[in-house]
Structure 1
Amino acid sequence: MKCLEESQYLAGLSKMMFSDIVPQQSSQAFLWSILNTITDPIFVKDRQHKWVLVNDAFCQFIGYQRKELIGKSDYDFFCKTEADVFWERYELVFTTGVTDEHEELITNSQGETQIISTKKSLLYDEAGNSFIVGLVRLIGSKNKIETALLRETVNKLEQEIYERQQTEKRLCRHSNALQQLVQSEKLQHDDFKIAIEYITEVASLGLDVERVSVWLYTEKRLGIQCIDLYQRENNYHSHGLELFVCDFPNYFQALKEEQVIAVSNVHSDRRTSEFSETYTTPLGITSMLDARIWSRGEVIGVVCCEHLGVQRQWTLEEESFISSISDFVRLVIESRDRKIAEEALRQSEMQLRQQTQQLEEALKELQHTQVQMLQNEKMSSLGQLVAGVAHEINNPVNFIYGNIAPAHDYIHNLLNLIQLYQEYYPDPIPVIQSKIVAIDLEFLMEDLPKLLSSIKIGAERIQQIVVSLRNFSRLDEAEYKAVDIHEGIDSTLLILDNRLKARPDRPAIQIIKEYDNLPLIECYAGQLNQVFMNILTNAIDALEERHQQQSQQKTKPSLGVILIRTKIINKNQITIKIADNGLGIPEKIKQRIFDPFFTTKPIGKGTGMGMSISYQIVTKNHHGTIECISSPHQGTAFVIVIPLKQQHFVQ
């Protein structure tokens, strides 16, 4: 079916909508104003999946003018993978007539990947032709959304680690006070009452609660006896309060079965509902944290912490702390043994440190993932740019190079013709003789073939650069592939050729290649090219810095040299060494050279991610090693060892 022009479709649509209201010409203009007033992108496609109508918002969203879009399909603007997905969904709507709405990934004209939601509905005109009307909603940039989610997770972890560290400091401080108590003369003199009072005060401060009490079961297990109740508001201790088990049987039975009971809301928790009216409500208690006292294989009592005011969520550190408090009470009651108290404290502190260490490791992993995402996105965008530039340059260069040979033949024939004229008509008329002198015909006939030869050499040079750019980008290699490592190194050197040449302020940098006869290496070629680029760039910076220092000291400048050596070291490993004769690296800096965000370069010149990313690429992605060998004024060498073939490593 022949595609309708935009004006034809708009006229038909306006006739369908406004034929009984306003004249056709006015209704068409009115419809245009409505469509262009809508801020959401809107488009209409015919049965061949070609655009026949788009509003201003759609043109702005996709980055092309209306005249460029009309009569074109998705395959003219998007990559084949994306266009195939769009085609299948449009075809489904044409076939079934069912409205379709999906979230889709789309690459805009700037190369940025975005997430959109497209609603597609079927529409028929008066002649029975079918069309799809689409409404696009932009959800956001895929990379920005992923980065925002990652940063939110990192921030939450950082906050949780900070809170845990503060809690750990507070609890450890009061745990140290308890340890000093166990070692003090108070326990040695068997001052039981003073020791228990001290423990309840420390528990109140450490957990920031208003009431702390210690209860012991009576010998006949008919009730429990309060040996101390500390109220922080009045700094007051009460003793000898008695509460019978029969009043709260369920709760104290639960305390016998659980190490710690944490109740955030005493009014809604079924375990405390039996005494909320008679005990917690009158006293204003909203949250409780209780731990049993276990001794010689049985429960002998309870440590109770009661919070007043706003309901409170208890943390694992606080539960661990009250468990330690119950252990101290047990120690005081049993034997006041100093070694047992120290061991209990050590275990409690170790648990807190382990939990904090695990969170810190998780945070470091997330931060590293964030750096990887940023660097991968940067390299992906750079690779797309390089591949695009190479592709665009390649077409005109091929055109020029392909026409050099016939041009050479044409000029050769013309020169032969001129020679024949000179041979058979040696005496030209004065006008021709004057022109021959003016254009220096003899020099022209001699230099023109040389000129064509120079053009050919230049075109071949551009072709080599294009091949190197495409080889360096390696956008199509997302899996391990067997490649020539030397080809990747040479491509990187070709890209850096401008920085290696001589300049007015320094001589050229000499490249020495000592390549072994390597087989094809199974690797991520694009990632290894990135490693070569980072190391070679740093080497050039080091040599330029050395030359600048020599210029300031007015000493004779020495030649800058970069050595690149490859070698097979065993059946399944090769080594790649890149060394320079620069200023070298001090030991303190060398120890941190692979740390993320560490850089010695001025602000704006270095990000501190290059060598960290290189380390991850070599060690994690290729299961190899990378080592920095350097000392001040002795140059720097990076030695990379990777396997010839990648095996199935267990992650």
Structure 2
Amino acid sequence: MISTKKSLLYDEAGNSFIVGLVRLIGSKNKIETALLRETVNKLEQEIYERQQTEKRLCRHSNALQQLVQSEKLQHDDFKIAIEYITEVASLGLDVERVSVWLYTEKRLGIQCIDLYQRENNYHSHGLELFVCDFPNYFQALKEEQVIAVSNVHSDRRTSEFSETYTTPLGITSMLDARIWSRGEVIGVVCCEHLGVQRQWTLEEESFISSISDFVRLVIESRDRKIAEEALRQSEMQLRQQTQQLEEALKELQHTQVQMLQNEKMSSLGQLVAGVAHEINNPVNFIYGNIAPAHDYIHNLLNLIQLYQEYYPDPIPVIQSKIVAIDLEFLMEDLPKLLSSIKIGAERIQQIVVSLRNFSRLDEAEYKAVDIHEGIDSTLLILDNRLKARPDRPAIQIIKEYDNLPLIECYAGQLNQVFMNILTNAIDALEERHQQQSQQKTKPSLGVILIRTKIINKNQITIKIADNGLGIPEKIKQRIFDPFFTTKPIGKGTGMGMSISYQIVTKNHHGTIECISSPHQGTAFVIVIPLKQQHFVQ
């Protein structure tokens, strides 16, 4: 009879091993000797398997520790990080070949971004595998987190590779783990064993899953950097477009004066429309990228929060990086930065719409339009002059709009009239403020009132009034005369109000009247018909 006793012990290095005690009870016959030998063999096999398991776990632990502590995974070069992971995985699993594959853009197959061959320490990439050629494998990739195959030729999941891939390369066993990110499979980590078939253990399956997670983190880090760079590029483009728009508006103002002098109103319309078109395309591109950039950033910030929740005590390398980049401030400020970019893009879009509305100078026929839209477009173009400045407060705009129908008119020409009157009103308010500053009197708020009203079933009136210094009677009598101006040389051409008079009276069969007296402000009252058909006939 045989009595056995097994004990689990640890050496000084912390490695575990089993010590067995076998005792014979009774006579030592052949049967007992055979039983003893069988028991000893089982114990030896169990000890060996236990030691092998300990070695594998030690390799896995060391490999994962290397990845956690390595600065290569934080490297800006995506290729360096992936190559390091495949090398560490090869050593940790003791396999000859480790590769990383990612789905192509249309998900018709996967492409190898790195294949590491340990024998010659060589990295390669570029090979593609298509779903239509290997349907069983790709189906398994959808359904299984880990594909553990000891015999690649007989297993249905990998037998499709035999003729063209595994047999020529001498691959007998495969251990693959899919890469899962943002709710879908984006690729796979593949480990290929050469030689005698290999039975994969649960520990090895767990290890390759961890390797897959590291690859996912590197990919998401790369995508985040790409998104941040795209955001920076969008911000830079937005600034450039804003600067170009400001320069275009300044150029437009200078060009406008010259065109007014030469009475080339149609050319001005073409110029403004062209500027609006050129600005609109890149602004739409920038605005269109803001939403996906917001989603990317939101997902990345959620991921960081999850890591902070489940891993509140990161390793020193990560902790120092968190402090260096001020992660808390970054997570708080990044959404605000994106919101600012969106507001800027929307502002430019509004200006583009205003430029298009204002540029109807070359229309050869009367069209039914919203007069208020033209006034608002003109105000938006003049917005920079209405804002507060160091030497004066902002000019207040008061709108009293009636419920007007669409008006038949040359919209661009009326916009030019609004521009001339509003520009003169702003000049008058600035002159009044300068006078108050010189006299050291309390400055009063500059106000421009814009009122529209239906007079009768055939006419409307548009009144634009300011609370400036007003106009003396002698000057008021000549205000619509060609080339008459009270402004210094270089600031006025004397054509603005003259052209406005022609536009209202001759082109629109209406009237324009200036009502003003010194220190009582100035008002221009325009009356035009609702429809021009009667006059055309």
Q: TM-score, normalised by structure 1?
A: 0.42
Greater shift, 353-362 or 562-571, is seen at: 353-362
3-state SS in 2 of match to 1:201 = helix
8 Å contact from structure 1 (residues 331, 340) kept in 2: no
8 Å contact from structure 1 (residues 507, 559) kept in 2: yes
CA distance in 1, matches of 2:134, 2:271: 74
Deviation at 1:628, TM superposition (A): 0.4
Aligned pair partner of 1:245 in 131, 147, 154: 131
Distance 1:419 1:363, change over 3 A: closer
CA distance in 2, matches of 1:190, 1:418: 19
Greater shift, 215-224 or 492-501, is seen at: 215-224
8 Å contact from structure 1 (residues 183, 338) kept in 2: no
Deviation at 1:648, TM superposition (A): 3.5
Distance 1:384 1:328, change over 3 A: closer
Deviation at 1:440, TM superposition (A): 1.4
Deviation at 1:452, TM superposition (A): 1.2
CA distance in 1, matches of 2:431, 2:39: 41
8 Å contact from structure 2 (residues 469, 521) kept in 1: yes
Greater shift, 308-317 or 385-394, is seen at: 308-317
CA distance in 2, matches of 1:144, 1:372: 122
Deviation at 1:145, TM superposition (A): 128
Distance 1:415 1:326, change over 3 A: closer
Deviation at 1:481, TM superposition (A): 0.4
Distance 1:229 1:604, change over 3 A: farther
Q: Which runs of 5+ in 1 are unaligned?
A: 1-114
Show CA shifts across 1:181-240 (max 9, x none). Answer: 999999999999999999999999999999999999999999999999999999999999
**Structural RMSD (CA):** 38.8
CA distance in 2, matches of 1:299, 1:429: 28
Deviation at 1:375, TM superposition (A): 4.2
Q: Which runs of 5+ in 2 are unaligned?
A: none
8 Å contact from structure 2 (residues 22, 36) kept in 1: no
Greater shift, 399-408 or 159-168, is seen at: 159-168
8 Å contact from structure 1 (residues 175, 345) kept in 2: no
8 Å contact from structure 2 (residues 63, 92) kept in 1: no
Deviation at 1:384, TM superposition (A): 2.6
8 Å contact from structure 1 (residues 288, 304) kept in 2: yes
CA distance in 1, matches of 2:58, 2:315: 112
Deviation at 1:602, TM superposition (A): 0.9
Show CA shifts across 1:239-272 (max 9, x none). Answer: 9999999999999999999999999999999999
Distance 1:507 1:140, change over 3 A: farther
Greater shift, 263-272 or 341-350, is seen at: 263-272
Does 1:425 pair with 2:425?
Answer: no
Distance 1:547 1:178, change over 3 A: farther
Aligned pair partner of 1:630 in 508, 516, 521: 516
Deviation at 1:383, TM superposition (A): 2.5
CA distance in 2, matches of 1:514, 1:122: 93
3-state SS in 1 of match to 2:76 = coil
Deviation at 1:158, TM superposition (A): 127
CA distance in 2, matches of 1:619, 1:625: 5
CA distance in 1, matches of 2:224, 2:305: 116
Show CA shifts across 1:566-609 (max 9, x none). Answer: 00010010000000001111111111111111111111111111
CA distance in 2, matches of 1:621, 1:530: 13
8 Å contact from structure 2 (residues 510, 529) kept in 1: yes
CA distance in 1, matches of 2:490, 2:341: 40
Distance 1:497 1:323, change over 3 A: closer
Deviation at 1:615, TM superposition (A): 0.5
CA distance in 2, matches of 1:235, 1:499: 68
Match of 1:145?
A: 31
Show CA shifts across 1:158-188 (max 9, x none). Answer: 9999999999999999999999999999999
Deviation at 1:419, TM superposition (A): 1.5
Distance 1:445 1:137, change over 3 A: same
3-state SS in 1 of match to 2:222 = coil
Deviation at 1:444, TM superposition (A): 1.3
Deviation at 1:455, TM superposition (A): 1.1
What is the number of equivalent residue pairs in this alignment? 537
Distance 1:213 1:132, change over 3 A: closer
CA distance in 2, matches of 1:591, 1:265: 104
Show CA shifts across 1:28-53 (max 9, x none). Answer: xxxxxxxxxxxxxxxxxxxxxxxxxx
CA distance in 1, matches of 2:374, 2:214: 67
Distance 1:422 1:271, change over 3 A: closer
Show CA shifts across 1:500-559 (max 9, x none). Answer: 011111111110000001111110000000000000000001111111111111111111
8 Å contact from structure 1 (residues 331, 337) kept in 2: no
Deviation at 1:458, TM superposition (A): 1.0
8 Å contact from structure 2 (residues 453, 460) kept in 1: yes
3-state SS in 2 of match to 1:158 = helix
Greater shift, 419-428 or 618-627, is seen at: 419-428
8 Å contact from structure 1 (residues 471, 491) kept in 2: yes
8 Å contact from structure 1 (residues 150, 370) kept in 2: no
Greater shift, 444-453 or 118-127, is seen at: 118-127
CA distance in 2, matches of 1:289, 1:433: 33
Distance 1:523 1:124, change over 3 A: farther
| Identity across matched positions, percent | 100
CA distance in 1, matches of 2:136, 2:56: 33
Greater shift, 551-560 or 168-177, is seen at: 168-177
Does 1:207 pair with 2:96?
Answer: no
Distance 1:647 1:151, change over 3 A: farther
CA distance in 2, matches of 1:231, 1:156: 37
8 Å contact from structure 1 (residues 625, 642) kept in 2: yes
Greater shift, 263-272 or 458-467, is seen at: 263-272
3-state SS in 1 of match to 2:2 = strand
8 Å contact from structure 1 (residues 468, 495) kept in 2: yes
Deviation at 1:465, TM superposition (A): 0.6
Distance 1:606 1:280, change over 3 A: farther
Deviation at 1:379, TM superposition (A): 3.3
3-state SS in 2 of match to 1:559 = coil
Show CA shifts across 1:275-327 (max 9, x none). Answer: 99999999999999999999999999999999999999999999999999999
3-state SS in 1 of match to 2:24 = strand
CA distance in 1, matches of 2:15, 2:433: 74
3-state SS in 1 of match to 2:397 = strand
Larger RCO (CA within 8 A; separation ≥ 6): 2
Q: TM-score, normalised by structure 2?
A: 0.51
CA distance in 2, matches of 1:232, 1:417: 34
Greater shift, 520-529 or 601-610, is seen at: 601-610
Greater shift, 250-259 or 523-532, is seen at: 250-259
CA distance in 2, matches of 1:157, 1:616: 112
8 Å contact from structure 2 (residues 149, 175) kept in 1: yes
Does 1:370 pair with 2:267?
Answer: no
